[in-house]
Structure 1
Amino acid sequence: MATGLFDGIPPRLDTGRGTDRFLWLLARGAAAVERFGRRGRRPPVVPVDRDLRVVVEQVRAEAEGVVSLRLAAADGGRLPAWQPGAHLDVVLPSGRIRQYSLSGDPADRCYRIAVRLIPGGSGSGEIHEEVGEGTPLTLRGPRNAFPFVTADRYLFIAGGIGITPILPMVRTAAARGADWRLIYTGRSLESMPFLEELDDDRVWVRPDTEYGIPASGAELLEHVSGDVPVYCCGPTPMITGVRIDAENRQVHWERFAPPPVVGGEPFRVELARTGRVLDVPADRSALDVVREVLPQTAYSCRQGFCGTCKVRVLSGEVDHRDQVLTDDERGDHMTLCVSRAQDRLVIDL
């Protein structure tokens, strides 16, 4: 004999107000639905931890004031793959976050970054003075804001520590059989890292000490036809010169220093937690001014693409100049490093 949901239900339900079989059946049905729902409910969403735990496997002096770090997965495994031009967010033991280009071989199981010591630089100072072999670090990425396109010919231009994202591009171009040339500039030979890895007739090493002055954009682009893609990384004046003199050439570039403020107007920032009002001059960023009174304010790229210095805006109209915030975020947030205002902002600091 078949059994079902209603088997065993008594013919009457005495409640003191008479029989209400319909309500009793409804309650039984609701209980059954609830039991079924509990069995079929999806498990709660668990946030994905995308941090990479690594240890410093090797620290090596590469030039005056420059060290390289070889980073291996803490569990001994293989780190995620990457492409030339990629960079990492490195979370230092202090909690500071800094960005560094990957400068090793994309086929390697480990990562390599290089760090130049910047006078007064808290991040580079911490790496040079406190990070050694065996130090655990946390990484985020790799991410690529300087993608390397496929072509038959290339011109690479690197200035100083700007060689770091260029090196993997040179290796990849050579492996693909492409026709390439590298111009590597710097203050002096002693200040230029990875020279021993560039023993090739297609590399022109041009230290300022041997030529008297830094190279102009026209000099760096000399003898190269207009249809050759140019990849350039280094100091802002070098990049600016190349871009001005490139004419119709296709120039891909990345800078490590913050860009100069262009078309800026002075404005004021009020720190809501203290009521302090700061004047931001036309030629400085809000980040620089805020850090003078709140030196712990987090930052990383200083170019508007990492979001580390994002803060909540309580009032005022922002002139957004970043490349990271979503449209929704721009309704009540800003990046201190590049964004500005016409008048006055109140921010949650």
Structure 2
Amino acid sequence: MTPPLRTGRVAPPPHPHRGATALSALTTLTAGLATAGARRRRPVTEVDRTVAVTVGAVTRPCRDVAVLDLVGDGDGDLPAWRPGAHVDVELPSGLLRQYSLCGDPADRRRYRIAVRAVPGGSGSAQVHALTPGTRLRLHGPRNAFPLATAPAYLFVAGGIGITPIAPMVRDAHAAGVEWRLVHTGRDLASMPLSDELAALAPDRVLRRPDDAGGPPSAGALLAGADPEAAVYCCGPPPMIEALRAALPAGQRFHSERFSPPPIRDGRPFTVAIAGGPEIAVPADRTALDAVREVRPDVPYSCRQGFCGTCHVRVLEGTTVADPAGPGRTALCVGRAAGERIVVDLGR
């Protein structure tokens, strides 16, 4: 059931550089991986809020990237957000997909998202087919990647991973905090948004296309970084893991990936669907992947455990590395603590 539309103003959260302490603002998303193989992360507080918007301008800064302005339908302001936030977008087919907000948090009349077309991707294909005037419903915003107070920042983005990073760069620049941005990609033509950020301070933005020297090493990405800087990275898992391993112990590191987390040291188990079949889950696959082979209608979205789309009740057994909470499991990341769990796909 779709929650009712809520209206009214939402007070913006406090700016991290105005009165907050580092300890009170710091939220790290880099907890260790559990032995079962799925990454632990602090669950995002669910936001029971639906927002009606209309697609405004659609631009294409790169050949495979669409930037959409989503304009609020009502007379009031859209809900406030801070850099790192995302919205859940209900696409015309009913698919739910998460996209980072990459516009200006001070502009309360519109949200901006940038979406790369993924070959074979049903969600991105629908986004790229949207035209001005199309009405959509959003949920959120929510923030699983908040910008914490720090004396300096190093921002690292891989390809479309620039989307949550761009508002962080603008925020740090407006606050007068030292920052640097490194943006990587296949070629300059595939790297959106960072050319606009370079206009803020050209000497602080380094664009590193792979076709001009190959993919950079973690050392190259971190070269010249302030040892006191908080490092924020969004990109593919290999980039994130390489940076994590290369950073000195104790340096703050925050990351958000735009693909499912790798399964490490996974163990096979069985998922039994209440009233249905028992499904073997191999050590290197998720319960979601295995269940969807039998029940392709099972919904999913983020594949990282935080959006709640694939969360279902656990009737028997327990799970580990599971952000869904007691008595529930996120099929995309949760794994059985024993040999078998029974789930209720009636949600």
TM-score by length of 2: 0.81
Q: Does 1:250 align with 2:245?
A: no
RMSD: 1.7
> How far 1:150 moved relative to its partner?
2.3
Match of 2:335 in 1: 340
Q: Which amino acid aligns with 1:250?
A: R
Cα deviation per residue 1:112-162 (whole Å; 9 max; x = unaligned)?
001111122221121123x21111111111111111122331111000010
User: Which deviates further from its counterpart, 88-97 or 237-246?
Assistant: 88-97
Q: Secondary structure at the match of 2:296?
A: coil
Q: Secondary structure at the match of 2:106?
A: coil
Task: Give distance in 1, aligned partners of 2:291 and 2:211.
Answer: 38
User: Contact 2:152–2:226 at 8 Å: present in 1 too?
Assistant: no
Q: Which amino acid aligns with 1:121?
A: G
User: Contact 2:170–2:197 at 8 Å: present in 1 too?
Assistant: no
Cα deviation per residue 1:209-229 (whole Å; 9 max; x = unaligned)?
1112x2222221111132111
Q: Secondary structure at the match of 1:198?
A: helix
Q: Secondary structure at the match of 2:312?
A: strand
> How far 1:76 moved relative to its partner?
4.2
Q: Highest CA radius of gyration, 1 or 2?
A: 1
Cα deviation per residue 1:174-220 (whole Å; 9 max; x = unaligned)?
111111110000111121112431332210000111112x2222221
Task: Give distance in 2, aligned partners of 1:160 and 1:282.
Answer: 30
Q: Secondary structure at the match of 1:120?
A: coil
Is there any run of 5+ residues in structure 1 with no aligned partner, and where? 1-45
Cα deviation per residue 1:293-340 (whole Å; 9 max; x = unaligned)?
32221111111112110112232x2323233x33xxx22x21100001
How many pairs are equivalent? 295
Task: Give distance in 1, aligned partners of 2:135 and 2:314.
Answer: 35
User: Contact 1:298–1:308 at 8 Å: present in 2 too?
Assistant: yes
Task: Give distance in 1, aligned partners of 2:226 and 2:195.
Answer: 28
Task: Give distance in 2, aligned partners of 1:128 and 1:339.
Answer: 32
Q: Does 1:120 align with 2:115?
A: no
Match of 2:40 in 1: none
Cα deviation per residue 1:11-48 (whole Å; 9 max; x = unaligned)?
xxxxxxxxxxxxxxxxxxxxxxxxxxxxxxxxxxx977
Match of 2:302 in 1: 301
User: Contact 2:235–2:258 at 8 Å: present in 1 too?
Assistant: yes
Task: Give distance in 2, aligned partners of 1:47 and 1:80.
Answer: 15
Matches within 5 A, 1:106-117: 106-108=105-107, 109-117=109-117
Percent sequence identity over matched residues? 56
> How far 1:171 moved relative to its partner?
0.5
User: Contact 2:5–2:52 at 8 Å: present in 1 too?
Assistant: no
Match of 1:39 in 2: none
Task: Give distance in 1, aligned partners of 2:104 and 2:50.
Answer: 21
Matches within 5 A, 1:58-207: 58-108=57-107, 109-129=109-129, 131-199=130-198, 200-207=202-209
Q: Secondary structure at the match of 1:201?
A: helix
Task: Please state which structure has a larger fraction of its residues in helix.
Answer: 1
Residues 318 and 263 of structure 1: is their aligned pair in 2 closer, same or farther, counting only changes over 3 Å?
farther
